[in-house]
Amino acid sequence: MIEINGYSRTCGLIGNPVEHTMSPVIHNNLAVATNENLVYVPFHVETGRLEDAVKGAFGLNLLGVNVTVPYKSDVIPFLTDIDPLAKRIGAVNTLVRMENGFKGYNTDMPGLLRAMKKDGVEVKDEHIILLGAGGVARAVAMLLADNGASKIYILNRTTDKAQAIADEINSYKCSDIVEVKKLSDYSLLPQDRKYLAIQATSVGMYPKVDEAVIEDVAFYNMLHTGYDLIFNPLETKFMKLAKQSGAKGFHGYRMLLYQGVIAYELWTGKDVTDELAEQVYEKMLAAMNA
Ligand code: ATR
């Protein structure tokens, strides 16, 4: 921890709940390592208090704020500006102090991209299976389309939701890059290649750790990599099944690290090296196991 004095700057997290957050581990360690007089604290914001919280944060001269569930979309009306990516995704997880208020960014998706790079997982020219069609999956589909994926197959229990995402991205890209299938129809995908699959449903998350959105070994045999966005547990059933079929398996904990790293870079104007980020990651792992 840094020594707090009259010059200390404050950043924090607003959400509900915030009690299990790892973000203080990320930012307080980064502050020490980069010699910033900065502290990061969680702020539990009750329902109906979001506008007060954002105004209060500005009034109290906070340097930056992270926003988590359930406020990532609700916070948008209270911003003075919004980054184009966050606007398109419709979700803001980072507020950066400007002269007259906060500007909203989304660092979750750039964080996923940076985590995937670090994990050695390519998006460019890949044929990718995306499992899920909720808010997170929609943002991931945009990220993949923007970063050179050749093809994105969205598989979801409710195909209407997947189709809405496909229509949105295909019209934005003026292409047919996204195709939709029912969750159970993976055997209809071209079988002449192996796929990167990104798991963006909530299935398998603690405490239901014995569940995977698809259980059939035949599906996992189609993969070279299974990337789960869930990080609790650190080894999901989806990852286990992918690995049992000879594919690589990754979880979403590095995405959590890098969304924080990118937010920290926006707040402080400093670049965080991958080496430093990985040192912080070790502390996050230790904190999770504590
Ligand atoms: P988020 O904002 O985190 O993406 P969400 O919008 O609730 O959360 O989306 C959850 C995703 O998990 C959806 O794709 C959902 O499938 P449906 O669109 O069919 O609801 C998927 N999901 C949740 N529980 C599931 C289950 N038991 N089987 C299959 N998919 C499931």
pLDDT band of residue 2 (cuts 50, 70, 90) is confident
- Token pair for residue 259? 């969304």
Distances (CA, A) of 200 to 132, 134, 138, 161, 261: 5, 8, 9, 13, 22
Query: CB under 6 Å to ligand 1: residues?
Result: 132-137, 156-158, 161, 201-203, 213
Compute the distance from residue 135 Cα to the ligand 1 centre, in Å.
Answer: 9
Catalytic-role residue among 55, 72, 237, 240: 72
The average pLDDT across 236-265 equals 98
pLDDT at 180: 98
pLDDT at residue 221 above 80? yes
Measure the CA–CA gap between 24 and 41, rounded to whole angstroms: 6
Q: Ligand 1 centre from 133 Cα, in Å?
A: 7
Residue 117 has pLDDT above 80, yes or no: yes
The residue nearest atom 11 of ligand 1, judged by CA position, is 201
Q: 104 near 92, Cβ under 8 Å?
A: yes
pLDDT score of 289:
86
Residue minimizing CA distance to atom 22 of ligand 1: 201
pLDDT of residue 111: 98
Best residue among 130, 154, 159, 201 to mutate for probing ligand 1's pocket (most ligand atoms within 8 Å of CB) is: 201
How do residues 129-138 score in pLDDT, each as one tens digit? Answer: 999 999 999 9
Over the stretch 48-59, which tens digit does the pLDDT of each residue have?
999 999 999 999
Mutate to test the pocket of ligand 1, among 186, 198, 202 (most ligand atoms within 8 A of CB): 202
Can you tell me the mean pLDDT for 220-231? 98
Atom number, ligand 1, closest to the C-alpha of residue 136: 4
Active site residue 72: yes
Find the mean pLDDT for residues 171-188. 97
Global pTM exceeds 0.75: yes
179-184: Cβ within 8 A, 24+ apart: 179/151, 179/152, 179/153, 179/154, 180/153, 180/154, 180/155, 180/156, 181/153, 181/154, 181/155, 182/155, 182/156, 182/157, 183/131, 183/155, 183/156, 183/157, 183/213, 183/214
Mean pLDDT of the chain: 98
Which amino acid makes up residue 119? Answer: D
| Residue 96 CA to ligand 1 centre (angstroms) | 30
Using the mean position of ligand 1's atoms as its centre, give its distance from the Cα of residue 200 in Å. 8
Task: Please give the number of the atom of ligand 1 that sits closest to the Cα of 161.
Answer: 18
Question: In the prediction, which pLDDT does 290 show?
Answer: 82
**What percentage of the chain exceeds 90 in pLDDT?**
99
